[in-house]
Structure 1
Amino acid sequence: MNYNRISILGCGWLGYPLALDFLSKGISVKGSTTTESKIETFQEEGIIPFLFTLGETKDQIYKDFLENSDVLIINFPPKRIPNIIEVYQKQVQSVLPYISKTQKVIFVSSTSVYQNTNNEVSETLQIEPEKESGKAVAIVEKLLQDELGDRLTTLRLCGLIGYDRLPGRFLANKKEVLNGDAPINVIHRDDCIGLINAILKKNVWGEIINGCADHHPLRKDFYMQAALKISLTPPTFKKQDKIAYKIIANTKSKNVLGYSYIYPDPLKLI
C-alpha cells in the first residue's frame, strides 16, 4: 500500500475500526468526530483526533485535517431530516475547497441510489433514486465526481451488518411487514474494510464499485431466522402479489479489485 497518511471524515461505526485497521498497517490516521467524548479514545489508540461539525467549523481545522494526507475517506451518511438533500450537499461542499490537487478520495456511498428494478443492478445502471436519502447521496456522488474526476472512487455499500448491528433486532415483533419475498442486500463491516483496503492496494481510482455479499436470501427468511437466533419474536410478513426489489451485483468488486468476500452468505452470519 503506497498511502502512508489517511484522513477519515467520519470515524463512527465503520470509520473507527477502519482507522484501527490502517494503524495496524503502519499508516498514520487523522479521524474526525462530532462527539467530544471520543477524543480521548482516539488519542489512546493512536488516531490523530479532530472534533468538528461540517459547515460549522473554521477554515484552519479543515486545512489541518487534510494537510499532508495522501487519501481522504468521506464516510458519513446523510442525516434523516426534512431538508436532507440540501444539508448533505452543503456538508460535503464545505470540505471540498481544502482537498489538494494531489489527494485521492474514497466516497463511502450507498446502494440506496439505485431504484427498484426487480432485477440485478450493476454500476452501469442510470440511477434514479426513489427515497430522499438516496437522492441526497446521488447528488453528492455527482458533486464529487465533477470536482475530483479520476482522483475519486465511489464505493456503494448496501445494508451494513456485523458485530453490534444484529439484524434480528431490526424487524423483531413487527407484523405484516412488506416485501417478505424480496431478496436482501447486505454486507459485513469486515468486508467494507476489506474493499477499502483493496481499492488502496490496487490503486483503483476513477471508479464506482458496489459492495455487497454474494448471496441474497429472501427478506422473510433472513429476518425471521435472525430474530429467533437472539431469542426475539420474529416478524410476520404480509402476503403480496407484487413486490419491489433490486439485487446488487458485486461482480465488479471481484473483477476490478480481485476481492473475495469474507462473509459471502448472510444466512451464515445469523
Structure 2
Amino acid sequence: MNNNQISILGCGWLGFPLAKFLIDKNYKIKGSTTSETKVEILKESDIIPYVFKLGESNNKVLINDFFADSKIIVINFPPKRIPNIFNVYQEQIKEILPFIKPEQKVIFISSTSVYQNTNDWVTESIECKPEKESGKAVLAVEQLLQSHLKENLTILRFAGLVGYDRTPGRFLANKKDVPNAKAPVNIIHQDDCIGLINAIISENAWGTIINGCSDEHPTRDFFYVLAAKKLGLTPPEFKQSENIQFKKISNTKSKTLLKYTYKYSKPLTLVK
C-alpha cells in the first residue's frame, strides 16, 4: 500500500480542489469522474483520472484499480435527486464496498440533512431522524458504511456548501413568501471543507462522526437579503412568523478533536 496515495471518489465541486490541495502536500491522487470531458482537466492538475459510473456492471476491474494501494479513500458524491433515491444511493455504495481493503481508511462526505429540526443546537451524538428523502438516503449510507468499515471510517457531515462559484446570494433571490425568516443559517465554505478533511488526515481522526459548519449562525432573512444585495439581485421576501422550524449545527467537536480553526467562521463576512 502507498502511504502517500489517496483515492477521491467524485472530483466535482469539492473533490477537484481537494485533490489539488492534497497534491500540493505531496500526496499522489487518484480522482474519479463520470465524464470523459474532464479527463484532461484532471490530468493537467496531476490527478490520475478514472472515468466510471456506479451502477454499470462492467466497472469492476476499473473500480478495483481506482481503490488499489491507496492509504485513504474519500467518498464524495451526493445522492441524485431521483424518485428512488433511498435505494439507489445505497446500491451505489454497495458496489464499491468489495474493493475497500480492511487496512484502508475512509472519509465519507455526508450532510447535516441527516438531522431533524429540533429548534435547538444539534451535535453528533443526537439520534438522527431525517425529514427529507435525501437525508434518509444519506443516513442509510452512513449506517451501511459503518457496518462494513467500523473504526476505519470517519463521517464528515457538512452544512450548506458555499464558496467561489456557489454564492449564497443566488439561492433565494427573487423568491417571495420564504418561510423560517428567523431560523439560523448553517453553512460552510469550500476552503473549510478542505481544511477539515486535511485535519482528519493529519490528526488520524478515524472511527468518528464530525460536523462541519461555521461558528456563527445569522438569521435567514438578514443573511440572504444581504447576500442578494451584494450581487445586485432582488432580495427574497420572507414571511414573518414565530412558528419557525430549525436546527443549529454545533461545530465544537471539529474544533476540539481536530484542533481546527475555521477560515470563514462568520458567514456575514461573505455577504457584506
Query: What is the DSSP-based 3-state SS (H/G/I as helix, E as strand, rest coil) of the residue aligned with 1:106?
Result: strand
2:231 is aligned with 1:230: yes
Distance 2:151 2:59 in 1: 29
Equivalent residue, structure 1, for 2:204: 203
Equivalent residue, structure 1, for 2:5: 5
2:118 is aligned with 1:153: no
Distance 1:207 1:120 in 2: 19
Query: What is the DSSP-based 3-state SS (H/G/I as helix, E as strand, rest coil) of the residue aligned with 1:4?
Result: strand
Equivalent residue, structure 2, for 1:135: 136
Point out 4+ residue stretches in structure 1 off by more than 3 angstroms: none
> Cα distance, 1:185 vs. partner?
0.2
Aligned residues: CA RMSD? 0.9
Equivalent residue, structure 2, for 1:80: 81
TM-score normalised according to structure 1 size: 0.98
What is the total number of aligned residue pairs between the two structures? 269
> Cα distance, 1:45 vs. partner?
1.0
Equivalent residue, structure 1, for 2:183: 182
Distance 1:42 1:239 in 2: 47
Equivalent residue, structure 2, for 1:48: 48
Amino acid in structure 2 at the alignment position of 1:42? L
Amino acid in structure 2 at the alignment position of 1:22? L
- The answer as to whether partners of 1:10 and 1:74 remain within 8 angstroms in 2 is yes
Distance 1:29 1:69 in 2: 9
- The answer as to whether partners of 1:123 and 1:210 remain within 8 angstroms in 2 is yes
- The answer as to whether partners of 1:156 and 1:209 remain within 8 angstroms in 2 is yes
What whole-Å deviation, never above 9, does each CA across 1:222-242 have from its counterpart, x for those lacking one?
Answer: 100000001000000012130
**Cα 1:140/1:39, change in 2 over 3 Å:** same
- The answer as to whether partners of 1:3 and 1:200 remain within 8 angstroms in 2 is no
Identity of aligned residues (%): 59
Distance 1:241 1:193 in 2: 36
Where structure 2 has 5 or more consecutive residues not aligned to the other structure, the ranges are none
> Cα distance, 1:44 vs. partner?
1.3
Query: What is the DSSP-based 3-state SS (H/G/I as helix, E as strand, rest coil) of the residue aligned with 2:94?
Result: helix
> Cα distance, 1:58 vs. partner?
2.0
Distance 2:160 2:85 in 1: 19
Distance 2:226 2:165 in 1: 17
2:217 is aligned with 1:216: yes
> Cα distance, 1:160 vs. partner?
0.3
Query: What is the DSSP-based 3-state SS (H/G/I as helix, E as strand, rest coil) of the residue aligned with 1:8?
Result: strand
> Cα distance, 1:3 vs. partner?
4.3
The 5-angstrom pairing of residues 100-119 of structure 1 reads: 100-119=101-120
Distance 2:191 2:59 in 1: 34
Distance 1:112 1:69 in 2: 29
> Cα distance, 1:88 vs. partner?
0.3
Amino acid in structure 1 at the alignment position of 2:46? G
Equivalent residue, structure 2, for 1:24: 24
Query: What is the DSSP-based 3-state SS (H/G/I as helix, E as strand, rest coil) of the residue aligned with 1:222?
Result: helix
Equivalent residue, structure 2, for 1:247: 248
What whole-Å deviation, never above 9, does each CA across 1:1-44 have from its counterpart, x for those lacking one?
Answer: x9410000000000000000011011000000001110011111
The 5-angstrom pairing of residues 257-268 of structure 1 reads: 257-268=258-269
What whole-Å deviation, never above 9, does each CA across 1:35-67 have from its counterpart, x for those lacking one?
Answer: 111001111110000000012142101111011
What whole-Å deviation, never above 9, does each CA across 1:72-110 have from its counterpart, x for those lacking one?
Answer: 100000000000010000001100000011100000000
Distance 2:40 2:214 in 1: 35
2:138 is aligned with 1:123: no
What whole-Å deviation, never above 9, does each CA across 1:116-168 have from its counterpart, x for those lacking one?
Answer: 00000000000000000000000000000000000000000000000000110
Amino acid in structure 1 at the alignment position of 2:64? K
Distance 1:178 1:268 in 2: 24
Distance 1:37 1:141 in 2: 31
Distance 1:43 1:3 in 2: 21
> Cα distance, 1:216 vs. partner?
0.2
Distance 2:207 2:172 in 1: 37
